[in-house]
């Protein structure tokens, strides 16, 4: 049996829609969640794609994820918007909060938006993409709470943070080619360790430490007790950015940080602070875009050390992956696939039906 399953994107969307529907969500929510998760797989981020659904099902059963929850406004004060996600599907409540920030930005030119208490919001670049589609720039700081810590601080030997992503999204003159930096502040996203652990692959050096703080290549240290820790990217700089993402999101949103004085029920709660900015309020957009294009072209023209690996700009790997996976289907490792089918069964979606929806019967 092959250790990989390939599912066409449309069929995978239909399957996730059905699993989420079995979890109690109305059709519109199923659509947002399935589009987002399959979109993450298409972008090449399997860590934030459909493989996370089994965790969502556990959280649904433990009432740590509440379906059919729309975002609630906490503050509406000109350029300042604050929202509470009510433990609803993060893909939905974060999109609602982001859309409100974008709508407001047409009037105010800049918006500071915070979101607290959202269940896992998924691939943060999705919200950057929403901003650039409107012609806006956005910055996003995100933390992870309610969950055990995963990432060690620089010089530390145990975990004190989540993988705290940061995203900066910038339009270019081509709406199809924005520059979107969207990254965990850990060496890799936690989901990538789940994928590696499921696939039985060893990690490169310098990504995780074991429970004694010693370097290891075994992703399993993150999935058994006593747990190890992921390391931040770029030593003290990545650690510093992780801490600032924690504070910018957790403290400003009112949702709180991962410090142990706050509630911890072992769900996955994200808080996000996003700044949305209309470049037209700072200059001529045609000139700004042309300057962005020229700089990106300049950077990309650097002769690659390896001719097979040309210089890219952030957002480009995701576009390349999207083109390939839309054409050839989404590959999922067998273990993640079995876990996904199992999650469907838990909610009452028979395996045979799931395989039929996925076009694999």
- Using the rule CB under 6 A, which residue among 50, 132, 159, 184 binds ligand NAD? 184
CB of 134 to ligand NAD, least distance (A): 19
Distance CA 190, CA 250 (A): 19
Nearest 10 degrees: Cα torsion 147, 152, 157, 158: 0
CB of 75 to ligand NAD, least distance (A): 23
Q: Check if the beta carbon of residue 193 is closer than 8 Å to that of residue 333.
A: no
The answer to whether residue 145 forms part of the interface with ligand NAD (CB under 6 A) is no
- Using the rule CB under 6 A, which residue among 21, 104, 120, 160 binds ligand NAD? 120
- Using the rule CB under 6 A, which residue among 312, 347, 355, 360 binds ligand NAD? 312
Strand pairing class (330-333; 110-119): unpaired
The answer to whether residue 132 forms part of the interface with ligand NAD (CB under 6 A) is no
The answer to whether residue 88 forms part of the interface with ligand NAD (CB under 6 A) is no
- Using the rule CB under 6 A, which residue among 5, 42, 93, 124 binds ligand NAD? 124
The answer to whether residue 39 forms part of the interface with ligand NAD (CB under 6 A) is no
Q: Binders of ligand NAD among 192-211, rule CB under 6 A?
A: 192
Residue 283: is it exposed, middle or buried by C-beta count within 10 angstroms (0-12/13-18/19+)?
exposed
The answer to whether residue 183 forms part of the interface with ligand NAD (CB under 6 A) is yes
The answer to whether residue 48 forms part of the interface with ligand NAD (CB under 6 A) is yes
Residue 196 vs 340, nearer CB to ligand NAD: 196
| Residue 244: CB atoms within 10 Å | 14
CB of 127 to ligand NAD, least distance (A): 9
Residue 136 vs 233, nearer CB to ligand NAD: 233
CB of 361 to ligand NAD, least distance (A): 32
The answer to whether residue 165 forms part of the interface with ligand NAD (CB under 6 A) is yes
Under the rule (CB under 6 A), what is the footprint of ligand NAD?
Answer: 45, 47-48, 120-125, 142, 144, 163, 165, 180-184, 188-189, 192, 270, 312-315, 317-318
């Amino acid at each position: 049996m092959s250790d990989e399953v390939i599912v066409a994107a449309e069929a995978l969307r239909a399957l996730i829609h059905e699993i989420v529907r079995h979890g109690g969500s109305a059709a519109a929510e199923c659509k947002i969640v399935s589009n987002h998760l399959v979109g993450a797989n298409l972008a090449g981020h399997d860590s934030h794609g459909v493989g996370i659904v089994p965790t969502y099902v556990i959280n649904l059963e433990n009432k740590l994820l509440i379906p059919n929850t729309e975002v609630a406004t906490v503050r509406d004060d000109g350029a300042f918007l604050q929202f509470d996600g009510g433990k609803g599907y993060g893909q939905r409540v974060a999109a609602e909060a982001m859309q409100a920030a974008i709508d407001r930005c047409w009037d105010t030119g800049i918006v500071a938006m915070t979101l607290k208490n959202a269940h896992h919001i998924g691939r943060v670049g999705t919200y950057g993409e929403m901003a650039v589609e409107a012609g806006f720039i956005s910055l996003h700081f995100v933390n992870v709470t309610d969950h055990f810590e995963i990432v060690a601080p620089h010089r530390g030997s145990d975990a004190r943070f989540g993988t705290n992503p940061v995203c900066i999204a910038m339009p270019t003159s081509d709406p199809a080619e924005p520059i979107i930096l969207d990254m965990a502040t850990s060496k890799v996203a936690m989901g990538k360790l789940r994928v590696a652990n499921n696939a039985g692959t060893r990690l490169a050096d310098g990504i995780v430490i074991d429970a004694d703080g010693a370097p290891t290549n075994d992703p399993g240290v993150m999935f058994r007790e006593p747990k190890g820790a992921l390391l931040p990217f770029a030593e003290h700089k990545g650690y510093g950015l992780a801490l600032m993402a924690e504070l910018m999101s957790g403290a400003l949103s009112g949702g709180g940080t991962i410090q142990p004085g706050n509630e911890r029920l072992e769900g996955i709660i994200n808080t996000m602070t996003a700044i949305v900015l209309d470049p037209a309020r700072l200059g001529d957009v045609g000139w700004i875009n042309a300057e962005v294009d020229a700089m990106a072209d300049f950077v990309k023209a650097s002769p690659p050390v390896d001719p097979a690996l040309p210089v890219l700009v952030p957002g480009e790997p995701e576009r390349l992956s999207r083109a390939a996976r839309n054409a050839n289907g989404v590959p999922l490792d067998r273990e993640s696939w079995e876990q996904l089918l199992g999650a469907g069964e838990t909610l009452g979606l028979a395996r045979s039906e799931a395989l039929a929806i996925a076009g694999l019967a």
